[in-house]
Chain A
Amino acid sequence: MIRFEQVVKTFPDGTTAVDHLSLEAPTGKITVLVGPSGCGKTTSLRMINRMIDPTGGRILIDDQDVMDVDAPKLRRGIGYVIQHAGLFPHRTVADNVATVPLLLGTPKAEAKERAHEVLELVGLPGDFADRYPAQLSGGQQQRVGVARALAADPPVMLMDEPFSAVDPVVRDQLQDEFLRLQSELGKTIVFVTHDIDEAIKLGDQVAVMRVGGKLAQLAEPAYLLAHPIDDFVSDFIGRDRGYRALSFTESPRLPLAPEPSVALGATVDEARAATGDDWLLVVADGRPQGWIEPERITAPIEQGMLHRGGTVATEHGPLRAALDAALSSPSRRGVIVDDDGKLLGTVRAHQVLSAIERADRPEVHEEDIAPTESVGEAAP
């Protein structure tokens, strides 16, 4: 657990970057610090591994004041990932990843072996190990950055906008993989971002900070979306928060209607016989592939003929996915599948909305007037 106790950072020029910050980052969880630029989130992060020393208050890692530990030694026990990865351009990928084990005195062969293991873990196959960072794409460099931070298996990881310099598709992919990794590794993570969507997607708890280095609200993402504490937080969370909050509500049993379907390769006559509707679902091996309009086709169904606009939701997935499946489907019937991706049936938007109306919203914490008080509840 990382604990900030009334931490203050005033720079020599008199600006206060962090103003009496108190919060806890519970063990094994992701705590996201989010806020506009100038809110002191990065400064707060860097005080944990003493890249910056606080001018007041204390930061404790498992009850040990970080100021009592020799800085380089402290840092070797804390993984650190930054925006542009900051890889050493003069070292191969494997040597980059082996950096901290080597600093800790691990024998060279062992460190190299460890590097290969971790690279595998972040999805970079063996032949990347001997390349230089300049030979990798931005997304791949960022994976190496994560691997390097994980190499010495530190219990704590600090991440400073690690995914904000890559394109949105890659970012989404990296975020998903990061969550998968974290579910396996269970590190204590402090994650800084200016992107509230990223904060809500990744955080077990989210600390919204305001300019001047004050904590505005600390809460779980679903709670934050449902009950922003003031105008600053609600403005910062932005629009669509009602819709986005549905990401955290698991679908109840939805009233699924059986959906007629044909397999890929079906003839025109088979397709027209299967449904009286304008739109017909095409499956392969039981898995939905896309929609076609039977009246418009003139040849057996191929992949290239499919309308792919519709999204697919899983049975017990979030309500947001179910609603989106209905809204995005050309037939207005949202496709629902089981955990293996096999077709279960379809649901209509109004049915999802009824389910939403019946779903619970997170209840307001009574003590939420003083945000620092809710810290204890988020701790495990």
Chain B
Amino acid sequence: MKTLDLSYVSDNWSDIVHRAWQHAVLAGLPLLIGLAIALPLGWWARRSTRLRPFLIGGAGLLYTIPSLALLIVMPVILGTKILSPWNVIVAMTLYTLALLVRTVADGLSAVPGDVEQAATAMGYTPVKRFFGVDLPLAIPVIAGGLRVAAVSNVSIVSVASLLGVSQLGYYITNGYQRSYSIEVWVGIIGCLVLALLFDLIIQLVSRALTPWLRVRGAS
């Protein structure tokens, strides 16, 4: 095997950083949008025993749609141009939802019953209770789901290079066509680093939001 020629990396460094940034936006923005939609849906699924199977099952079903098919169908549904990044963002939001609706419902279920009961008895309205009590206590579970969704998003976004939407997947497909292994490695390692970065950020934010979990135990 030939020694790897790292000059490709240094020669294309600004291009790599640029595509990494695009990749981060295409994977990260849907995480935020998906979370914002999953919160009310998860809350709803938790409250209504009748709707729960539909909401969670339906959301889960989204994940079984092949990513390539979903990306190709998006412009038809949305009426966008084939190269529009919104195709990717909407598709990734759907995948995020598929994972997070269940996670949010699970996280809310993990709030201890006596705590919920006490909150209601103190005179919390349902909305205030959601943001003041249920959501903060569900953070650890929701963060766990977000970590899975983040890694999954980073990996699925690379498929979008087949449609010509610019991101790190480009190096994988392009390198493969040219049989240029270092370029393929740039794509793979770039995705890996990005996924680890997302994971780290979510963990740090989750830690910062849950100071009560790190106090020393009961005396």
Contact = CB atoms under 8 A, between A and B. Distances in A.
Interface size class of A (residues with CB under 8 A): 20 to 34
B66 interface: no
A301 B116 CA distance: 57
Given A82-B114, A132-B212, A103 B218 contact: no
Interface in A70-105: 72-78, 80, 82-91, 99-100, 103
A90 B210 contact: yes
Contact of B115 (A72, A77, A86): A86
A115 to B, nearest CB: 14
B123 interface: yes
Contacts of A181: none
Contacts of B128: 103
Contacts of B125: 72
10 cross-chain pairs, A with B, having the tightest CB-CB distances, nearest first: A86-B118, A76-B123, A86-B114, A75-B123, A80-B121, A132-B212, A72-B123, A90-B136, A90-B212, A132-B215
A82 B122 CA distance: 11
B217 interface: yes
A82 B137 CA distance: 19
Nearest to A91: B212
Contacts of A137: 218-219
B207 to A, nearest CB: 13
B120 A51 contact: yes
Given A88-B118, A90-B136, A90-B210, 11 more contacts: A51-B117, A51-B121, A72-B124, A83-B114, A85-B114, A86-B112, A90-B137, A132-B212, A134-B215, A135-B219, A148-B122
A75 B124 CA distance: 8
A84 B114 contact: yes
A370 interface: no
Contact of A134 (B118, B133, B218): B218
A100 to B, nearest CB: 5
A128 to B, nearest CB: 11
A89 B121 contact: no
A185 interface: no
B122 to A, nearest CB: 5
A158 B128 CA distance: 22
B216 interface: yes
B119 A75 contact: no
B127 to A, nearest CB: 10
A51 B137 CA distance: 22
Given A135-B216, A137-B219, A82 B118 contact: yes
A96 to B, nearest CB: 9
Contacts of A158: 121
B100 to A, nearest CB: 21
A134 B122 contact: no
Contacts of B210: 90
Contacts of B119: 88
Interface string B195-219: 0000000000000001010011111
